[in-house]
Amino acid sequence: MNHKIVALAAVAHPDDIEFMMAGTLLLLKQQGVEIHLWNLCNGSCGSASLSAQEIAAIRWEEAQNAAKVAGGIAHPPLFDDLGAYYDAPSLARVGSVIREINPNIILTHSPQDYMEDHQNVCRLIVTAAFSRGMKNFTTHPPQEPSSTEVALYHALPHGLNDSLRTPIQPHFLINIASVIEQKKEMLVQHKSQKEWLDITQGMSAYELEMERMSQAVGKISGSFSVAEGWRRHSHLGFASETYNPLQTLLKENYASTPQ
């Protein structure tokens, strides 16, 4: 892996990256990986007082600030909140961005999650990556197909359970102790989201909630104090069976889930 490696974290909403996958992304950055951050939804429903346009503009600015903390490239959203659907027009738009970025690594939501936006974005990202090399699949705007190998990884859902309260068990864990403070700095850039969650979900300790989940995942390993959990997507249609860049690049912080 001596060529440039590109990693994309693609999620539904501003702060989803910071809660469940920023630590892994920051560790990849330390390994010389070019990192991209993309929230597909604009946060338009995340305010009890501002208009959709006003809060979306604020959330985009906050997302860019978080990306700067990480040293990554931020990509603008495509959809309003609750407006990400798994349909042909949406897939054409998502596919265009995937081909433009041309990532080797994609970090995205769990297919099973407590929120429909998360699940829909996961499906869109997976299919867009799968179709990246299909010349007869037309993206909007049009982009040339790509033959780049790509490995997909699914983060744990927020709360670590699916919508039916069933725990989601990771395939492997990434030790994020060395970057937890930077991950926290990324999260606190989302000031408007903290205010919204305080009002609607009673989450008065925004950063502490992230730390608690990181600690809970760390406990699964039996050795990490804080960690992020991941499931590796099937390689079929994406890469060779042995292509596992998270393990290769982050081997010092990588541990399979204890059986």
| Mean pLDDT, residues 198-220 taken together | 80
Whether 6 has a pLDDT exceeding 80, the answer reads yes
The confidence score (pLDDT) of residue 196 equals 60
In tens, the pLDDT along 230-243 reads 999 999 999 999 99
Tell whether pTM > 0.85: yes
Q: Positive or negative, the Cα torsion across 53, 72, 238, 259?
A: negative
Residue 47: band (very low, low, confident or very high) from pLDDT cuts 50, 70, 90: confident
CA-nearest of 243, 72, 73 to 148 is: 243
* pLDDT value of residue 48: 81
Domain ranges of the chain: 6-236
pLDDT single digits (tens) 57-92? 999 999 999 999 999 999 999 999 999 999 999 999
Predicted local distance difference test score (pLDDT) of residue 197: 62
For residue 192, what pLDDT is reported? 83
Candidates 161, 206, 179, 213; CA nearest to 14 is 206
% of the chain exceeding 70 in pLDDT = 95
Helical pair 52-70 and 191-200, crossing angle rounded to 10 deg: 120
- Please choose, from the candidates 72, 66, 89, the residue with its C-alpha nearest in 3D space to the C-alpha of residue 14: 66
DSSP-assigned beta bridge partners for residue 73: 36
d(CA 28, CA 22): 10
**What are 124-166's pLDDT values in tens digits?**
999 999 999 999 999 999 999 999 999 999 999 999 999 999 9
Q: What does the block give as tokens for 256?
A: 């399979």
Average pLDDT over residues 34-63: 95
Q: What is the pLDDT of residue 191?
A: 86
- Condensed to tens digits (0 to 9), the pLDDT of residues 165-183 reads 999 999 999 999 999 999 9
Q: Tell me the CATH architecture of domain 6-236.
A: 3-Layer(aba) Sandwich (3.40)
Give 215 or 204, the one with higher predicted confidence.
215
In this structure, what is the dihedral angle of CA atoms 222, 230, 226, 38, given to the nearest 10 degrees? 180
For residues 98-115, give the mean pLDDT: 98
Buried b / exposed e along 33-50 (16+ C-beta atoms within 10 A): bbbbbbbbbbbbbbbeee
The model's pLDDT over 182-203, given as tens digits with 9 standing for 90+, comes to 999 999 999 887 666 665 555 5
